[in-house]
Structure 1
Amino acid sequence: MTSSFEVPLTRREAVVQQLRQEIASGQLPPGTVLKDAEIASRLGVSITPVREAITQLTAQGLVDVAPNRTRKVSGLTQKSALELVDVMQLLACAGFAGGVENLTAEHIASLRKRYAEFTGALERGDVTAASAAGADFSTIVVMANGNRELQSLLDQVVVRTGRMMAMEPGSSLWHPWVTGYGEVLALLERGDRAGAVARYRQIYVEYRAAVEEILWHGDAEGAPS
């Protein structure tokens, strides 16, 4: 019999999770200097798990270390932004295609709920909640694939790419997801799983084009340079 007991987060894991969330939401914007003592005091932990967490976030590309050992939240260049989109596309589309055949009626109901939360948050102007609900929409399908390592890698890329989404609710970068998720959901509810996979892949084509437009023309506030 398999136990459902979940091992609690270690202090390092808890700090990693908290800092990753703050980076993704823009609470810690690119260029922010990370100081061990300040973070430890704010989070109510010792300096050791903070140092370990920052080391892990550095390995994941979320933190840059300057020659003088100063640690800063990393930024995005035009080249790295598009590279992140390409990596996210490879991981997410592979996970989605692998998980879609395992979806149950309960999964699809959860997708409908997440989509409502996603669009509702955008209507309220809450981009943090919209980002979380949008990521959960894909995660439901990817996790149905059963490949937790794939989801772990995807989570890291999504956090870094998410900075491009942390802008005004009306940004053109949201449009591929709002339209695409809605159409993917409709296809799944009709039982057209192959069509849903094809439409999901198309989201990334449209999203990359929107990112390129912003990068080259600077149409959106907060776009990477």
Structure 2
Amino acid sequence: MPIPTTSASVARNLLRDDVYSQLRDAIVNGTFVPGEKLRDLELATWLGVSRTPVREALLRLAQAGLVVTRPGRSTEVAGLDASAVRDAQAVVAAMHQLAVREAVGQLTEGDLEQMRTANEEFAQALRAGNVDDALAADDAFHAVPVRAAANRAVIAVLEQFTPTLRRVERLRFGSLAGRASVALHSQMVELCAAGDAEAAAAVSFDTWCTLEPLLASLAEPRHTEGNKPDPRHDGDSDGPA
């Protein structure tokens, strides 16, 4: 889709992290679709900033695998690559497992209540088919143990790789498949409340592995109208795949 016509201008003291966050979120929520060209001048105008923080943000987005930059040519939104998503899933699951393990014992009753409330809001959003609210509630739920663990390395890794998963989770939370996470969330909270760090960490890991069926579907070959297998051949071909 084209650059939005509505203004996204913010305060003049917009930091490069804010520019990165806005562009990242626009990719995750589908404002910018896979294959779309991203031109720094147009993005700078949209955000009301200079081109420098936009260029820096695009470099960070490339490192996160959200855009593909071709030197001397163009920058475009990356597609949903099953291999890249699977790699991100493994890293994110491990980081949340570590965070929960370190957080148990540090979580207060207020923290546990925040997790329960976030999970209720998550369940309500899923029932209503509101993907944006479901993602926001899921973020709020998992942010509690990450914040309690206060492991800066974990936070940095999650900031880089979680957006890749969120693009896929938009598909999952729009269907019944995402509802399995509600029960896992509840189980994790009660294990945290009981002080069982290892069991709670294991459930946290399992929660992030519920994406597996969707990843498998992404990895399946797809044929377009202009690229269907030729029934006259048995599948072996020297032509384009």
1:184 touches 1:199 (CA, 8 Å); kept in 2?
A: yes
SS at match of 2:119: helix
Determine whether 1:199 maps to 2:203: yes
- Aligned pairs for 1:140-179 (under 5 A) are 140-167=144-171, 169-171=173-175, 173-179=177-183
- Aligned pairs for 1:56-71 (under 5 A) are 56-66=60-70, 68-71=72-75
Equivalence for 1:48? 52
Unaligned runs of 5+ in 2: 1-11, 222-241
**Cα distance change of structure 1 residues 174 and 54 upon mapping to structure 2, 3 Å threshold:** same
CA RMSD, Structure 1 to Structure 2 (Å): 2.4
Give the paired residue count: 210
Give the distance between the partners of 1:209 and 1:29, measured in 2 at CA.
23
Letter in 1 for 2:86: L
Moved more, 161-170 or 148-157: 161-170
Give the distance between the partners of 1:79 and 1:52, measured in 2 at CA.
26
Equivalence for 2:116? 112
Determine whether 1:17 maps to 2:21: yes
Greater Rg over alpha carbons, structure = 2
| Aligned sequence identity (%) | 30
Equivalence for 1:81? 85
| CA deviations over 1:62-83 (Å, ceiling 9, x no partner) | 2111355200111222222211
SS at match of 1:102: coil
Determine whether 1:131 maps to 2:135: yes
Equivalence for 1:3? none
CA positional deviation for 1:168: 6.1
| TM-score where L is the length of structure 2 | 0.77
Letter in 1 for 2:159: D
1:139 touches 1:151 (CA, 8 Å); kept in 2?
A: no
Determine whether 1:38 maps to 2:42: yes
**Cα distance change of structure 1 residues 182 and 210 upon mapping to structure 2, 3 Å threshold:** farther
Unaligned runs of 5+ in 1: 1-7, 219-225
**Comparing both structures, which one devotes a greater share of its residues to helix?**
1
CA positional deviation for 1:10: 4.6
2:101 touches 2:200 (CA, 8 Å); kept in 1?
A: no
| CA deviations over 1:47-67 (Å, ceiling 9, x no partner) | 222122212222222211135
Letter in 2 for 1:22: A
Give the distance between the partners of 1:173 and 1:75, measured in 2 at CA.
22
